[in-house]
Amino acid sequence: MAYYTGVASTYADLLNALTSNCQSNGWTWADGILSKGALYVSAVEATATTGFLAGIRIQGGTGKSGSSLTGAAWIRPKMAAPYTAITVAWPVEYYLHIFTAPDEVYMIVKYNVDRYMWLSFGQSNVPGLTGTGLWTSAVSANRHASSSYGSGGVYFHNNHYSTQIGGASANNYITSAGFFMVGQHSPQQAITQALQQDSYSNTLHTGFDTVAGGWTYYPYWDYDTGFTDFGATAGQLATRSLSLWSQEATMIPFSVYENRGSSKVALVMQPKNSRFLNITNYEPGQIITLGADKWKVYPFAKKNASGMTSEGQYYAADSGRHGWAIRYDGP
């Protein structure tokens, strides 16, 4: 594994740090696409337009033809400020974790003193997948909160344990800020493929469902198949992860399941090098040592140890006490 940190003055600087360090760890960067083995990830600097904020957008594919992905994923996650009320103050600090066997990449960016944004991609090593196993995830969807949601923000949904960013457009779609924690939406409002591309922030190429080319997706018309979620299965574990006796928290593996129809699910991903963590009693950037392993703590968006604004209200300005720990190889 490898760990890098530095300062960036623009999204272009962040993109360069990501791609150059990935190349140092066996990835190829050509035509705007990172590739390694069966993994293909487009990474581009996205400019701000109506409904979309600037950031770094990633998109997975099963191959490439020139500068275009082949077998491209519908869903295109983006690392950016989570909603329009936040202006990123440059420069920013970045923390980049790159792993092999399996390949996993996590880029975390600290900005505006105590806020965080991130992107990640890698390969699932769960056996039985008929696809490449490539997954992509980021703090935000490509589309951002619109004026109909006020300032937007992060919301903790108690029902299925999601840390969520405010509405993605003028209808009721909510994108998750947490790693493979699916957002929610109003099924009364139709969703097009184009809107779906821009309204969700996690996807995985399992190869199981042909409707989206083997990529997992979140269709409003079919809750039975095709979408993946960590939050729905982790709620009871997560709520009990903070010990009332020691005040320490248990690191919970991101066990991601895909709905397979007929009320059945299949384990399709469990990253080796990241864990869900209740960060109530941990500081962002803190190093936790467990035996021979070290883990670095990050909030999903911004820590609020009380959790009050994210566990009872929509569109608060933080991700409460919910974050993650990533295996660490630094000093």
Range with lowest mean pLDDT among 73-87, 100-114, 163-177: 163-177
The pLDDT value given to residue 177: 78
Range with lowest mean pLDDT among 42-51, 143-152, 204-213, 226-235: 143-152
175 pLDDT above the threshold of 70: no
How many domains would you assign to the chain? 1
Q: What does the H/E/C string look like for 159-215?
A: CCCEEEEEECCCCCEEEECCCCCCCEECCCCCCCHHHHHHHCCEEEECCCCHHHCCE
Q: Are strands 63-65 and 68-70 parallel, antiparallel or unpaired?
A: antiparallel
Highest mean pLDDT among 9-18, 192-201, 232-241: 9-18
State pLDDT tens for residues 273-326: 999 998 889 999 999 999 999 999 999 888 887 765 444 444 456 777 888 999
Q: Which two tokens stand for residue 51?
A: 């409904």
Average pLDDT score over residue span 48-75: 92
Average pLDDT score over residue span 52-59: 93
CA distance 177 to 271: 17
Range with lowest mean pLDDT among 39-48, 145-154, 230-239, 316-325: 145-154
Q: How confident is the model at residue 82 (pLDDT cuts 50, 70, 90)?
A: confident
70 pLDDT above the threshold of 60: yes
Which one-letter amino acid corresponds to residue 210?
Answer: T
Going by C-beta distance under 8 Å and a sequence separation of 6 or more, which residues neighbour residue 116?
108, 109, 110, 139, 284, 298, 299, 300, 301, 302
Q: How confident is the model at residue 156 (pLDDT cuts 50, 70, 90)?
A: very low
Kindly report the pTM of this predicted structure.
0.90
Structural contact between residues 97 and 325, judged by C-beta atoms closer than 8 angstroms? no
Average pLDDT score over residue span 35-44: 98
The pLDDT value given to residue 69: 98
Q: Which two tokens stand for residue 76?
A: 């295109």
Specify the 3-state DSSP secondary structure of 326. Answer: strand
Q: What does pLDDT average to over the chain? A: 81
3-state helix, strand, coil in the chain (%, to 5): 10, 40, 45
More confident: 213 or 106: 106
Specify the 3-state DSSP secondary structure of 147. Answer: helix
Structural contact between residues 167 and 145, judged by C-beta atoms closer than 8 angstroms? yes
Question: To which H or E segment does residue 310 belong?
Answer: helix 308-311
Comparing CA positions, the residue from 195, 197, 198, 160 lying closest to residue 180 is 160
Going by C-beta distance under 8 Å and a sequence separation of 6 or more, which residues neighbour residue 115?
81, 86, 301, 302
Domain that holds residue 304: 2-327
Rounded to the nearest 5°, which phi and psi values hold at 183? -75, -170
Q: Which two tokens stand for residue 311?
A: 């566990």
Q: How confident is the model at residue 188 (pLDDT cuts 50, 70, 90)?
A: very low
Q: Which two tokens stand for residue 87?
A: 């202006």
176 pLDDT above the threshold of 80: no
215 pLDDT above the threshold of 50: yes
Question: To which H or E segment does residue 6 belong?
Answer: strand 2-8
Query: What percentage of the chain has pLDDT greater than the value 90?
Result: 51
Average pLDDT score over residue span 200-218: 86
